[in-house]
Amino acid sequence: TTATVETDVLIVGSGPAGSAAALALATLGVPNIMITKYRWTANTPRAHITNQRAMEVFRDLGIEDQVLADATPHHLVGDTVFCTSIAGEEIGRIHTWGTSPAREADYQLASPCLTVDIPQTYLEPILVRNAAARGSQTRFSTEYLSHVQGDEGVDVQVLDRLTGQQYTIRATYLIGADGARSKVASDIGLPFEGAMDIAGSMNITFKADIAAYVDHRPSVLYWVIQPGSNVGGIGAGLVRMVRPWNEWLIVWGYDIGGPPPVVDEDAATQIVRNLLGMPDLDVEITGTSLWGNNEMYATHLQSGRVFCAGDAIHRHPPSNGLGSNTSVQDSYNLAWKLAAVLRGQAGPALLDTYSTERAPVAERIVKRANRSSREFVDLFVALGVTDARTEEEMVARIEERKANTPEGAAKRAALLKAMELKNYEFNAHGVELGQFYESSAVVGDGTPRPTPTRDPDLYHEASTVPGSHLPHAWVGDNVHKQAMMDLAPYDRFTLITGIAGEAWAEAAAAVAAELGVPLATVVIGPGREVTDLYYDWAKLREVEESGALLVRPDKHIAWRARTLPEDPAGDLRDALARVLSRA
C-alpha cells in the first residue's frame, strides 16, 4: 500500500529557490511540503554574493537580522583584486558591489539593504529553519520521481531514500526548484534557449589564514591571471573568500572537451599554492568538486499547475553573482500569487503572470553573466598574454606594463579600459535591481516604461510607472525610521497616498471588503502614520499628493492614479480586479 499525503504546494528542492518558496508560503500561512534529495542543505559554499533585492526579500520575510548575523558585512566585500597571485603582482583593484564612493550613493538611495556575502552553506539553513518554524513540512532524503497533473491537483511520486519506499504527495500546485539539472522542468517540457556545459570549472575549498595578504584590501574575490587561467569557466582563476580570512574557495577552469581532471589532495594543494603564490603554504583542503558552466534559460516557466524556479529555469556562470539572488526572487514573485489563488482572492490566470514576468529576467541574467565571464578576455588582451606560450613569456608580458616605453604606455591605457569594463560584472546595479514587469498583474496608466538616462546595466533608475519596483526612501516619525518597503508588507496589497488623498482610505476599505483581498492604505504626511522625513518621497512618487500607488505584495507597482479621481473606489476596484485576474 502506498500512502497519499495532501498539501497545497509541494516544493522540490531546498536550495535558495526552494527554501525561499517554502519560507514565503509558510509566512503567508499556505500549507506546503518541501522535499529534497539529500540529507541536508548545500554541502559546498557555492553562491554567496547577496544583492540588495534578495536582502529586501529577507527583510520583508523577517529574517534580515539572521542573514546579517551570518554574513560577511558590506564593508568587507568590495576591494576586488586582479593579480598574478595573492602574494604576487597586483594588476589592479576595482571597488565592487557598490562599495566605490562614486557608486555607494546609488546603492544607498535604491534600497534600505546593502550587498553582503553569505555562502549558501550558511544561507540555506536560515531559510529552511525559518520555513520549518513557520509551518513548512520539510522532508530530507526524499526524491522527486514523477508527477501526473489532473484538474484538481498534481500527484507527485516521491521516494524516501532512507526506507526505499515510494509514496504519493497530492498537491494543488507543484514547484520544481530542483536546480540546473531539473527533472521537473524536463518532465513538463519547458522550452529552453542556449546550451549546457559550455565550459568546465572546479571548486576547491580550503583553510589557510592569509589575512596578512588580504585584510588591507578586503574583498570577496581575488582574480588570478596565470598560465591556464583563461581556460574553462568563469573568465580567470579565482580565490574567493568564504570566511574572512581563513576559509577560501578556489575556482579554476578545465577543458570540458577532455576527460574530467582528477583533483586529488596533491593536485588541489598545488592549485591552491599556485594561485596564492605561496609554494610552501600549509593548506587544509576541505573539498573539491567539478561543475559545468551553462548558458541556458527557459522561455516559459509553467505548465498547468507546475512551475519551475531558480537554476531550473536559468543556468549561467557565477559572474555578476546573480544565481542565488534571482532564485530567491523567483520564489518571492510566485508565492504570493499562489496564496492569492489558493484563497480564492485571485483568478488562476494570475499564475500565468509568473512566467510572463520572470522569463525575461531569466534571459537577461543568463546573457549578462555569460557576457561578463567572456569579457575577462579584454583583460588578457590588454596584458598581451592571450598568446603567451610559456609561463616566462606570460610574466614578461605582464611585466611590460611597467615599462617607460610607448608599448608600456599603450598597455597601461588598455588596462584602464579593460578594468572599466568589469563594472558590468561587479557594479551592474541596473541588472541587479532593474526588474520591470509587464503582465496582466500590472495595470498601466498609459505612461511608457521610462527610457533610461544612464546605462541600464550599470544604473538603476527608480520610477513608479506600473511594473516598476517601489522606490526606496526613508520615512517614519521622531522615534521610528522605516523604509518605504516596510509600509507594504508581503501579506497584503498596500495603497500609498498623501494627505490630500486621504479619501483613498475609505475607498480601499470598501474594495478590500468587496473583493475579500487584504488591502491597507498608508497616508504619508505630517501627523499621519508616517512622515516623509527627508522630503524624499515627494520627489520620488511621480503622482500628486492626492494620487495613489497600489503596491503588490512583492513591492512592484500594480497600478497608480495621478490624482484623486471622482470615484476612487470604482477605479481602485477595477484595477485590483484586473491585477488579480478577476475582471
Start-end of H helices in 237-383: 265-276, 323-342, 352-374, 376-383
In the complex with ligand FDA, which residue's Cβ is closer, 165 or 289? 289
In the complex with ligand FDA, which residue's Cβ is closer, 46 or 472? 46
Partners of 158 in beta bridges: 144, 167
Residues 399-438 interacting with ligand FDA (rule: CB under 6 A): none
In the complex with ligand FDA, which residue's Cβ is closer, 44 or 439? 44
- The backbone torsions φ and ψ at residue 256, rounded to the nearest 5 degrees and listed phi first, read -75, -15
- In this chain, which residue has its C-beta nearest to ligand FDA? 310
- Cβ of residue 18: shortest distance to ligand FDA, in angstroms? 5
Give the DSSP per-residue string, 223-279.
Answer: EE--TTTTSSSSSSEEEEEEETTTEEEEEEEE-TTSPPPP--HHHHHHHHHHHHT-T
Check residue 547 for interaction with ligand FDA (CB under 6 A).
no
Q: In the numeric block, which cell numbers belong to residue 229?
A: 587561467
In the complex with ligand FDA, which residue's Cβ is closer, 305 or 314? 314
Site map for ligand FDA, 195-224, x if CB under 6 A? --------x---------------------
Q: How many CB atoms lie within 10 A of CB 420?
A: 11
Check residue 183 for interaction with ligand FDA (CB under 6 A).
yes
Among 4, 38, 516, 562, binds ligand FDA (CB under 6 A): 38
What angle do the packed helices 352-374 and 323-342 form, to 10 degrees?
180
C-beta of residue 120 within 8 angstroms of C-beta of residue 72: no
C-beta of residue 137 within 8 angstroms of C-beta of residue 270: no
> What is the three-class DSSP state of 539?
helix
Site map for ligand FDA, 41-80, x if CB under 6 A? ---x-xxx--------------------------------
The strand pair at 79-83 and 90-95 is best described as antiparallel
In the complex with ligand FDA, which residue's Cβ is closer, 178 or 532? 178
**Which part of the chain contacts ligand FDA (CB under 6 A), choosing from 58-66, 216-224, 299-307, 320-328?**
320-328
In the complex with ligand FDA, which residue's Cβ is closer, 76 or 328? 328
**Which part of the chain contacts ligand FDA (CB under 6 A), choosing from 258-266, 310-318, 376-384, 426-434?**
310-318
Cα–Cα distance between 14 and 21 in angstroms, integer? 9
Among 12, 204, 301, 394, binds ligand FDA (CB under 6 A): 12
Cα–Cα distance between 352 and 274 in angstroms, integer? 50
In the complex with ligand FDA, which residue's Cβ is closer, 532 or 554? 554
Among 56, 117, 178, 295, binds ligand FDA (CB under 6 A): 178
Cα–Cα distance between 235 and 231 in angstroms, integer? 8
Q: In the numeric block, which cell numbers belong to residue 307?
A: 512551475
Edge-first strand order for the sheet with 247-254 is 90-95, 79-83, 221-224, 237-243, 247-254, 192-207, 284-298, 314-315
- Cβ of residue 120: shortest distance to ligand FDA, in angstroms? 6
The strand pair at 221-224 and 192-207 is best described as unpaired
Among 11, 13, 147, 221, binds ligand FDA (CB under 6 A): 13
- Cβ of residue 413: shortest distance to ligand FDA, in angstroms? 32
In the complex with ligand FDA, which residue's Cβ is closer, 183 or 411? 183
In the complex with ligand FDA, which residue's Cβ is closer, 144 or 493? 144
Among 218, 244, 318, 430, binds ligand FDA (CB under 6 A): 318
- Cβ of residue 196: shortest distance to ligand FDA, in angstroms? 12
Check residue 323 for interaction with ligand FDA (CB under 6 A).
yes
Among 88, 112, 153, 179, binds ligand FDA (CB under 6 A): 179
Check residue 291 for interaction with ligand FDA (CB under 6 A).
yes
Contacts with 334 (C-beta within 8 Å, 6 or more apart), sequence order:
21, 175, 307, 309, 354, 358
In the complex with ligand FDA, which residue's Cβ is closer, 291 or 504? 291
Total residues found in the chain within this entry: 583
Check residue 321 for interaction with ligand FDA (CB under 6 A).
yes
Closest CA to 127 of 9, 238, 237, 11: 11
Partners of 520 in beta bridges: 494
Cα–Cα distance between 221 and 218 in angstroms, integer? 9
Q: Which residue has the cell 549578462?
A: 368
Q: How many CB atoms lie within 10 A of CB 537?
A: 21
Cα–Cα distance between 47 and 288 in angstroms, integer? 15
Site map for ligand FDA, 122-151, x if CB under 6 A? ---------------------xx-------
- The backbone torsions φ and ψ at residue 555, rounded to the nearest 5 degrees and listed phi first, read 75, 10
Q: Which residue has the cell 532593474?
A: 434
- Cβ of residue 203: shortest distance to ligand FDA, in angstroms? 5
**Which part of the chain contacts ligand FDA (CB under 6 A), choosing from 12-20, 405-413, 472-480, 514-522?**
12-20
In the complex with ligand FDA, which residue's Cβ is closer, 362 or 517? 362
Total of residues contacting ligand FDA (CB under 6 A): 33
Determine the residue type at 554. D
In the complex with ligand FDA, which residue's Cβ is closer, 354 or 537? 354
C-beta of residue 372 within 8 angstroms of C-beta of residue 61: no
Among 16, 235, 466, 498, binds ligand FDA (CB under 6 A): 16
In the complex with ligand FDA, which residue's Cβ is closer, 108 or 141? 141
The footprint of ligand FDA (CB under 6 A) covers: 12-18, 35-38, 44, 46-48, 120, 143-144, 177-179, 183, 203, 289, 291, 310-312, 318, 321, 323-324, 327
